[in-house]
A and B are shown apart, each in its own frame.
Chain A
Amino acid sequence: MDGFERWKTGIDRADVEWDRYDPEIRRTVFEYSQHLLDTPGFTPLDWRLVKAMLWTESGPQASDWKKTPLQIGVPGDPGLRALLYGDEGSELIVPPCYVLTATGVTTQPRMNIVAALGYLLMRMANYGFATLPDDANVFNITASVGDSLSTLARKNRSTIETLQKLNPGVQVIRAGQVLRCQRASIRKVIVGWKPFTFSTVAQRYNGNGNPKGDPSYSKKLAYSMDAIKRRGATK
């Protein structure tokens, strides 16, 4: 019996215990989807994909099933570190209503699912940089000798792009010239999403895209999804 065959024995024998986390998965997927709905190219996630991930790497036969149903947060896992402390985009992905802690993720199944889905989304998002206003207030500034758009932006906590947008046609800055300004900064933003296919999820999520990750992860996701659908789980 090879590794895949041995793994699939568990799926083929799945009983109701395998559906234990359906409410938590549905709720978590819904909350993330609401939070990310306005990001470019986002389509609400199918909760069954997350359930398929759970079946792919865990199940009631896993000894930590009742604490950490998904494999995130073990010692040495850079995934949880990136989610909690990193600058890989988690601040854009995780809804502010979630308070994630290392202890919570490794002791509370709901928080474990929240972390795993957060990490998946963090890895599936495409990021870029954009000028965003820090507040809605637009005010006037007066240029001094030697000022440029660059120095004015820096002095007034704005950006060149914002000044250009508020003052169309302004090329050369003269001392005494009055310009419109708004506080703004260049920030990381989500600019799109990778397709949520089994192979992309496997590549991005499984083992952090590390070549040591399970090479059958995609195949197992597909097998799990079929089994979940056969049980009548709808979108």
Chain B
Amino acid sequence: MKVFRFACGAAILSLAFASVSWADPPCDGHYPSWGRVCYGGAHVTAKTIEWYSAFSECKPSPYEVIASDLKGKRPFVAYRFKKRSKACLYEVMEISKVDYGDDYWSVNGYTSLKNYRERHDDPAVRQSCPLGAMPSKRCNLPFAGKKQ
């Protein structure tokens, strides 16, 4: 858990929408999702991110954290795929807290960095997938450390 805490603590210091280099990945772990479109999941490790859903397949890619705020009202971390695979529809993958209950998060994909910045809430350029109830308000989730 120490690694997670350090990572999340480091994330707090970062400024939103600033490109940051990370010694440790924030919110690393496995994030399963479900549904007609969203079945699959995201996986964040120290070196790569990946995300699979019914119509998009983002294979492991190096990444950069482009924005994060893990202490605000709506904590989130946004990652940019540095080497997008062919069937990957999204350039940016964001893991964010949902404004409902205490422990619900989602994984969101944006077709481009520009769309992430300028059309953040526009469903035409994004896919948002629910994640299971998370037992912690922090990003260091007990179940998130292991790929399932």
Chain A residue at minimal CB-CB distance from B39: A214
CA of A84 to CA of B39 in the docked complex: distance in angstroms?
Answer: 23
Chain A residues touching B, majority SS: loop
Q: Which residue of B lies closest to A73 (CB)?
A: B123
For the complex, give the distance between the alpha carbons of A206 and B39 in Å.
9
B32 CB, nearest partner CB in chain A, Å: 5
Task: Kindly state whether residue A72 has any CB partner on chain B within 8 Å.
Answer: yes
In the bound complex, CA of A65 to CA of B35 (Å): 13
Q: Which of B54, B127, B132 contacts A212 (CB 8 A)?
A: B54
B140 contacts the other chain (Cβ, under 8 Å)?
Answer: no
**Which residues on A sit within 8 Å (CB–CB) of B104?**
10, 61
Q: Could you give, for residues 58-100 of chain A, a 1 whenever the CB lies within 8 Å of some chain B CB and a 0 otherwise?
A: 1111111101101111111111000000000000000000000
- Find chain B residues with CB under 8 A from A213 CB: 36, 39, 54
In the complex, chain B residues 71-122 whose Cβ is within 8 Å of any chain A Cβ = 89-90, 96, 98-101, 104, 106, 108-109, 111
In the complex, the answer to whether A17 meets B100 with C-beta atoms within 8 Å is yes
Judge whether A62 and B39 touch: CB under 8 Å. no
Task: Report B-chain residues with C-beta under 8 Å of the C-beta of A1.
Answer: 132, 143
Residues of the B chain whose Cβ atoms lie less than 8 Å from the Cβ of A71 = 35-38
Interface centre among A67, A210, A212 (most CB of B within 10 A): A212
Counting residue pairs across A and B whose Cβ atoms lie within 8 Å, the total is 120
Whether B111 contacts A75 by the Cβ 8 Å rule is yes
Cβ-based interface call for A208 (8 A): yes
List A contacts of B35 (CB < 8 A).
56-58, 71, 214
Complex CA distance for A58 and B133, rounded to whole angstroms: 13
Contact of B133 among A6, A17, A56, A217 (CB under 8 A): A6
Report if A205-B36 is in contact (Cβ < 8 Å); known contacts: A17-B100, A106-B123, A107-B123.
Answer: yes
Check B125 for interface membership: any CB of A closer than 8 A. yes
Q: Once the chains bind, are A75 and B128 in contact (CB under 8 Å)? A: no
Residue in B56, B129, B130, B148 whose beta carbon sits within 8 Å of that of A59 in the complex: B130
Question: How far is B127's CA from A214's CA once the two chains are assembled, in angstroms?
Answer: 16
- Interface bits A202-235 vs B (CB < 8 Å: 1, else 0): 0001111010111111001000000000000000
B34, B52, B100, most chain A CB atoms within 10 A: B34
Residue A137, interface by CB 8 Å: no
Interface residues on A, range: 35 or more
The reply to whether the CB of B40 lies closer than 8 angstroms to some CB of chain A is: yes
Q: A212 touching B124 by the CB < 8 A rule?
A: no
> Are A62's CB and B98's CB within 8 A?
yes
- Whether A220 pairs with B37 at a CB distance below 8 angstroms is no
Q: In the complex, what distance in Å separates the CA atom of A214 from the CA atom of B55?
A: 12
Encode A1-35 as 1/0 by CB contact (under 8 A) with B.
11100110110010001000000000000000000
Q: Is the CB of B39 within 8 A of A6?
A: no
Which residues of chain A are near B126, meaning CB under 8 Å?
74-75
Q: Are A78 and B55 in contact (CB under 8 A)?
A: yes
* Chain B contact residues, CB within 8 Å of chain A: 32, 34-40, 52, 54-56, 89-90, 96, 98-101, 104, 106, 108-109, 111, 123-130, 132-133, 143, 148
Can you list 21 A-B pairs with a CB-CB distance of less than 8 A? A1-B132, A6-B143, A7-B132, A57-B37, A58-B130, A60-B101, A61-B100, A61-B104, A61-B130, A63-B106, A67-B123, A71-B37, A71-B38, A75-B124, A76-B89, A103-B124, A205-B36, A206-B39, A207-B36, A207-B39, A207-B54
* Known interface pairs A6-B32, A6-B133, A71-B36; 9 further A-B residue pairs with C-beta atoms within 8 A, sorted by A's residue number: A1-B143, A7-B132, A57-B36, A68-B128, A74-B127, A106-B124, A205-B36, A212-B39, A214-B36
